[in-house]
A and B are shown apart, each in its own frame.
Chain A
């Protein structure tokens, strides 16, 4: 298996006033191509910090990250912007949709920044996230699950190598959460690599591999299934 993401010795220290917060302590982490990985841990364990560092949204205080063969920790902002545009798709807990843009326009938004003209893909993606008939709705007219589907569609539009999702079901009820996870599962089956941070153990268990973070340290890594074959044990 080729590693699409490899992090070693990651340390992240924040300062809040005089207090020094060590969010990550010497974390090693690896995601192979086509893998569905979950990261679990209580709040404050450093899950989001890890996701931000590997997603090129934040720089580590120490350690290095290699994304799709490129060491990101030494890159300038310009290069990081390109990486975020081309290789990474982000999904957030609060969806962060723009309320005055329709579902279709929200999905289209990254194309404005990547200057890609592939509008044709928008319909394909609407279909992929199950919102073909909802394209012209504003976020206010959609349910929470539908909004998160729009956000997932937005993460997919630039055809990323990897999807990073930060508590994607944190604002959703359990039935909707399961549906979102099924969508992730489907995307994974079609070859997409996924890293999902959650504190929902049931959902985390459906991944191929589950990492456990506690107090900024990686305390566990559990293989749940053979990558790409689903977590139902059939593979």
Chain B
């Protein structure tokens, strides 16, 4: 027999209470675990989304705020345009490696199944420039040439939703012209999966925006020069240059209040749980003073008793931590759906991010919680003199 087996057997004397205390710890730890997993996952997913945009700087029309730039990355549309001549001006700036023009527009299409009008987003692009921005793009079928007419490439998810296949001819645009789907993008996991891609000129023709573009994505050769290139770009009258860092900052600000609320919830949950554990332990210690007196009479020192209480506490919190982590992992998709609804800018992919480090952290944290909560009851019980203990706090 050792202190651990003694502690386990002591805990088994009060199965109901032990079980409930473990459950209390488990709930607190699972909340902590889920919220941290969400928080880190959110950041990672956001970064991934930024990376998948491929550009370092975005040239947007003047007066277009950062929020609109953020919206654009996410596949939104803004009602302001640059001229195609601005593209040449940007290209001539020293340090610009690729400048890829983009015209976005949106149309609504009635979904036969639900009867709802769904928004569709069209990107008019220069295919060679775009592929330099997004070198990971792969296509089933082929990409179109910039001067081809009535062709398009669609995202994988869109193709699945609309039952499109390579080579299919379908009516498209305001005049329902016969467009051929020449390629379907392989899944990218971001907004590209949902888009229609057209040669830039075709997009301009269909949307009556000849010579207009919405934005220019710029890739810089030397990352250290992003700031300098952005400054140069702003010297072009129409253009406001937004760097990815600024966009990230904007999104972080947008979601900041929601995330600090999450953190507050975590902290409050931890404090409530800590007091719950402390209360249960103190109650148990008070009930067991006579037993401690007996233990002292048969040779236990105060330290021995303290150790025993500490072992009991640590077993409770470690089991609670383990159970809580399992609960959090099992319920992560439910929690994610719930939190996604609360955040103003939720990335598309799954952003519950469970790592071995996080699992280790929540286990270490639960043990730490045990140490913090166990210290006072352990100290209190160790300080009882045998007589006080045997008299059971009668005086």
A193 to B301, CA, bound (A): 24
Cβ-based interface call for B176 (8 A): no
Q: Mark B1-41, 1 if CB is under 8 A from A, else 0.
A: 11100100110110000000000000000000000000000
Query: Looking across the interface, which residue of chain B has its beta carbon closest to that of A154?
Result: B298
A77 touches B302 (CB 8 A): yes
Closest Cβ of chain A to B19, distance in Å, is: 15
Does residue A81 face the partner (Cβ distance < 8 Å to B)? yes
Partner of B386, one of A14, A57, A108: A57
Task: Tell me whether A113 and B298 are in contact (CB under 8 A).
Answer: yes
Stretch in A1-9, A35-43, A99-107 with 4+ CB within 8 Å of B: A99-107
A134 within 8 A of B: no
Q: Mark B251-284, 1 if CB is under 8 A from A, else 0.
A: 0000000000000000000000000000000000
Beta-carbon contacts under 8 Å, A42-90 to B: 52, 55, 57-58, 77-78, 81, 84-85, 88-90
Q: Is B337 an interface residue (CB 8 A)?
A: no
Q: Do A81 and B299 contact each other (CB < 8 Å), given the known contacts A100-B13, A112-B6? A: yes
Once bound together, how far apart are the Cα atoms of A111 and B6, in whole Å? 12
Question: Roughly how many angstroms separate A52 CA and B10 CA in the complex, as a whole number?
Answer: 26
Size bracket, chain A contacts: 20 to 34
B170 CB to nearest chain A CB (Å): 74
Does B71 lie at the interface of the complex (its beta carbon under 8 Å from any beta carbon of A)?
A: no
Number of A-B residue pairs at CB separation under 8 A: 79
How far in angstroms is the closest Cβ of chain A from B269?
32
Contact yes or no, B13 A113, CB < 8 A: no
B97 at interface (Cβ–Cβ under 8 A)?
no
> Separation in Å of the B341 CB from the closest CB of chain A?
47
Interface status of B68 (Cβ within 8 A of chain A): no
Interface residues of B (CB under 8 A from A): 1-3, 6, 9-10, 12-13, 290-291, 293-302, 304, 385-387, 390, 395
Taking Cβ atoms with an 8 Å cutoff, the residues of A that contact B are 14-16, 52, 55, 57-58, 77-78, 81, 84-85, 88-90, 92, 94, 96, 98-101, 105, 108-114, 154-155, 158
29 A-B pairs (CB sep. < 8 Å): A15-B395, A52-B386, A52-B387, A57-B296, A57-B297, A57-B385, A57-B386, A58-B387, A77-B302, A78-B301, A81-B299, A81-B302, A90-B298, A94-B290, A96-B290, A96-B291, A98-B9, A99-B13, A100-B10, A101-B6, A101-B9, A105-B9, A108-B1, A109-B6, A111-B1, A112-B1, A112-B304, A113-B295, A113-B301
